[in-house]
Copies of this chain bind each other. A is one copy, B any other.
Amino acid sequence: MSLDHILLGLLREPQSGYDLKAFFDRSLQYFWPAELSQIYRNLKRLERTGMLQSKSKTSKIGPDRKVYSITKTGRQELKSWLSDRPQFGDERFSYLAQVFFMDECHDISATEEFIREMRSEFKERITTYRKIDKEWRNCNSHYPALESESGFHMHLTLRMGMHRMTASVKWCDESLAAIQERQKEKMISPNKTG
């Protein structure tokens, strides 16, 4: 179960559930979104099973917080997950399913508009990833060098995001061009399509 392992990974630095949520929303959410309610639930279970321990801490800012940190058992479990083979085959993309069936609309300009919206989302992601990269550079002077080990691996996932989003934008352009090309052809030699 990935969320459990992600929490273990993040809790090498002791943190509260609230802090963890903030971190998810700043970076991890792009490959593993999580809701606060679920984070709290899983933290509880991980403590019950001995993977985590917690203590209440009063803080200058805001009410008391429950700070979790990883135990020896937890670290073992984390390592065992990391030495698993890469886990594929669970990816779901609603928006691709939408494209797949969009001929039902019998209106190619609907597809065009849809792809333009996809394009702008992908572009925005690239900007966001660049911003995150800058933030991390500011926090850690070694980042993204291999010597700052954690930084290096975090950087790798960001690069994957950039590669994929760039490819996705290229796909949008290719698709929009194909649509326009074929519409031109149609105007010259019209054909039944319905």
CB-based nearest B residue for A34: B92
B-contacting residues, A156-176, CB 8 Å: 156-157, 159-160, 163-164, 166-168, 170-171, 174-175
- A9 and B101 within 8 A (CB): yes
Given contacts A166-B167, A167-B163, contact A95 B88 (CB under 8 A): yes
Q: Give the chain B neighbours of A163 by CB distance below 8 A.
A: 167-168, 170-171, 174
User: Which of A36-44, A52-60, A61-69, A145-153 sits within the interface?
Assistant: A145-153
CB-based nearest B residue for A186: B146
- B146 and A193 within 8 A (CB): yes
Q: Does A33 reach chain B (CB closer than 8 Å)?
A: yes
- A101 and B78 within 8 A (CB): yes
- A117 and B86 within 8 A (CB): yes
Q: Give the chain B neighbours of A138 by CB distance below 8 A.
A: none
Given contacts A163-B170, A168-B163, contact A86 B98 (CB under 8 A): yes
Expressed in whole angstroms, the minimum distance between the Cβ of A84 and any Cβ of chain B is: 7
A153 to B164 CA separation, bound complex (whole angstroms): 21
Given contacts A31-B92, A103-B150, A114-B86, contact A5 B97 (CB under 8 A): yes
- B164 and A92 within 8 A (CB): no
* Proximity string of chain A (92-110) to chain B, C-beta cutoff 8 Å, 1 when within and 0 when not: 1111111111111110101
Expressed in whole angstroms, the minimum distance between the Cβ of A29 and any Cβ of chain B is: 8
